Each structure stands twice: as C-alpha cells, then as structure tokens.
C-alpha cells in the first residue's frame, strides 16, 4: 500500500481517489476550502458526483502541505489551466515524489503539452508521466470497467520501467492500465480528441447522421496522427487507447462535455452561454486555438481542428464549418 496525493477535487480527481482507495491510502486536496469542507462532511462530491460515497481510506484535505506530506506518488487531476500551479506546489513540497497528471490539453498561451510544462517546473530528475485514455469520471467513480494508459518519463532511468512499476501498483480488476513510454503520443491523443469531439457534437446536432460522424471521427484520427508524429509521437500510439479509444468515446458518449459544446453550438447557442450552463471545464475550447496554431507553424494539415477553431472564434457557424469540411476538394486518403 502506498500513500497517494491527488491534487484537484473536481469530478476526475474525486473519481481517481475513489478508484485507487481500494489498494492505497489517498489524500484528496482542492483549492476551494469551502468545497473541501462540504465534501469531508458529506463524504461525497455532491456537486459533481452525487450519490457516490468516498471510501474510508480517502482523506479530504484543505491544506496542500498535509496532502503532499510523505506522498509516495502525486496525481495532478486539475484541468490543464491548473497544472503549472499544482506542479509548483509539488516542486516546493514534494520534490522527490514521482508525479502523474491526468489532464488533457495544451496550455493556453504557450501551446505546451503537459510534459513540457512539467519539464519547466519539476526538479530535473523527478520521475513523471501522464495517466490518460478513454474514461468518464462518473463511470470510474462507479467502478465500471475502464482501461487507461500510463505513459512514463524517467529523466535519469527507464521510462517504460517507471510506467510498469506504477501500473502494477495502481491497476485493479475494474481499472486496467497499460504501460507506455510514448508520452508525446499519449498527450497529443488526449488533447486533440477533445477538439474533434466538438466537431462531432456539431455534426450530430445538425442532424447530419451516423455516416458523417464516422467520416469525421476517421479523418480526425488522421489529424491526430499527423500532428502527433510531427511532435515526436509514435504512429502506433494513436491506434490505441489514448488515440482511437479516447477519440471514439469522446465523440460518441453522452457524458462528453466537449461533444455537448458542439451539440449546443449547432443549436445556435453562444459559446459563453454553453460554458456557463455546462458548469465544467471543456478542454477542447482553449485547446483548439493552441493546436491550430502549433499545427500551422509545423505545416501540418488539420482542417477539422481549424474549422472548430474558427467556430469557437465566431468566424464560422457550426453548419458552415461542417458543410465546408464535407465539400472539400477530393483527395487520396492518407
């Protein structure tokens, strides 16, 4: 049994804490002290995961110093926007502890992937990695079967061995985890699929049918692969859980926040109204701009991503964007 510190008490952080509590002692910390106190009293995250009780081995902490004390592993489960600040706390209070992050996206403004943010903040030799894959927080919290990928990076050692060590420690019969050392590929798949899910939601919201959605998902996977390989990821990663698996789930699942953004855009709602009603972070919204910018700089063709970015920025309607994609000049499939 290890002591885990989970930073971020949103739906995903709460779900991971509950899932890992069967084998480990877990400290769950969030920045909102009032929210933490309410969760500690109710023994559940009533706002985001109502009706799902926290196991006894999960302690709800209001002080990050307490959560990180003697941690054998730190899991950062904030949105990408909170990753840098959370890693700074780890660097200050637990510089020897290995770190995993469970966020998916590119940092707004810098366009950096999470491992690039970590390289700027963590100690040079601190082991780290990404925990990612097709997963809705609610289903993980309920103990429904889920498969994830742990992509490790060990600056001074064997990245795959680091990943395998924590896979063995964290997996259980309802949460199967696979080890990888392609951290770039794993992060790119998790980031770009959120952008494509907005497009898929718009396609569904406009009533374009299953054929169009299948075409969009397939061509979206080609975009993910081109972009990921340009950044140094491996092609085979994008046909696995963190690529195709996460893409299919997020583009088709009713629990997908990003798909819901696309659905509501297709119904004519403004982005501001959609995000207010959503009440959760939809990572595909800020990530679209960052991916489109990096893709253009790399000379990578990503028409679906560019269309989503144009819709988010108000340059195209959802209908015009999808119709433009479907009427592009025919070309060889690649």
> Could you state, in order of their start, the residue ranges of all structural domains in the chain?
3-181, 192-326
State residue 79's pLDDT score.
96
Residues of the chain with pLDDT under 70: 328-332, 334
State residue 330's pLDDT score.
58
State residue 331's pLDDT score.
66
State residue 328's pLDDT score.
67
State residue 327's pLDDT score.
74
Q: Say which CATH architecture domain 3-181 belongs to.
A: 3-Layer(aba) Sandwich (3.40)
Cα 260 to Cα 189, 231, 263: the distances in Å are 19, 29, 5
What residues act catalytically?
Answer: 193
Distance of alpha carbon 334 from alpha carbon 331, whole angstroms: 9
Q: Which CATH number fits domain 192-326: 3.40.50.720, 1.25.40.10, 1.10.1040.10, 1.10.287.990?
A: 1.10.1040.10
State residue 91's pLDDT score.
97
pTM: 0.95
N-terminal to C-terminal alpha carbon distance within the chain: 47
Distance of alpha carbon 221 from alpha carbon 239, whole angstroms: 8
């Amino acid at each position: 049994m290890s002591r885990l510190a989970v930073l971020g008490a949103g739906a995903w952080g709460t779900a991971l804490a509950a899932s890992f509590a069967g084998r480990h002692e877990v400290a769950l910390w969030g920045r909102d002290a009032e929210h933490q106190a309410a969760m500690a009293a109710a023994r559940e995250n009533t706002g985001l995961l109502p009706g799902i009780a926290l196991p006894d081995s999960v302690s709800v902490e209001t002080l990050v110093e307490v959560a990180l004390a003697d941690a054998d592993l730190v899991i950062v489960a904030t949105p990408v926007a909170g990753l840098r600040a959370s890693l700074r706390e780890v660097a200050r209070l637990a510089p020897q502890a290995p770190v995993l992050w469970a966020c998916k996206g590119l940092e707004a403004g810098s366009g950096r992937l999470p491992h690039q943010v970590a390289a700027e903040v963590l100690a040079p030799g601190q082991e780290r990695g990404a925990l990612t894959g097709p997963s809705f927080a609610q289903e993980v919290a309920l103990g429904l079967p889920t498969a994830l990928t742990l992509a490790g990076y060990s600056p001074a050692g064997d990245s795959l061995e680091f990943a395998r060590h924590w896979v063995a420690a964290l997996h259980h019969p309802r949460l199967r985890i696979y080890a990888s050392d392609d951290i770039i590929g794993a992060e790119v798949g998790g980031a770009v699929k959120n952008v494509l899910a907005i497009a898929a939601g718009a396609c569904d919201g406009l009533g374009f049918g299953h054929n169009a959605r299948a075409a969009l998902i397939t061509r979206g996977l080609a975009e993910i692969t081109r972009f990921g390989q340009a950044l140094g990821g491996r092609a085979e990663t994008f046909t696995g859980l963190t690529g195709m698996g996460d893409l299919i789930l997020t583009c088709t699942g009713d629990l997908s926040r990003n798909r819901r953004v696309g659905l509501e855009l297709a119904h004519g709602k403004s982005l501001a109204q959609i995000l207010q009603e959503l009440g959760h972070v939809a990572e595909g919204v800020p990530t679209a701009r960052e991916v489109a910018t990096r893709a253009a700089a790399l000379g990578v063709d990503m028409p679906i991503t560019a269309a989503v970015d144009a819709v988010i920025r108000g340059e195209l309607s959802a209908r015009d964007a999808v119709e433009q994609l479907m009427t592009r000049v025919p070309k060889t499939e690649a």
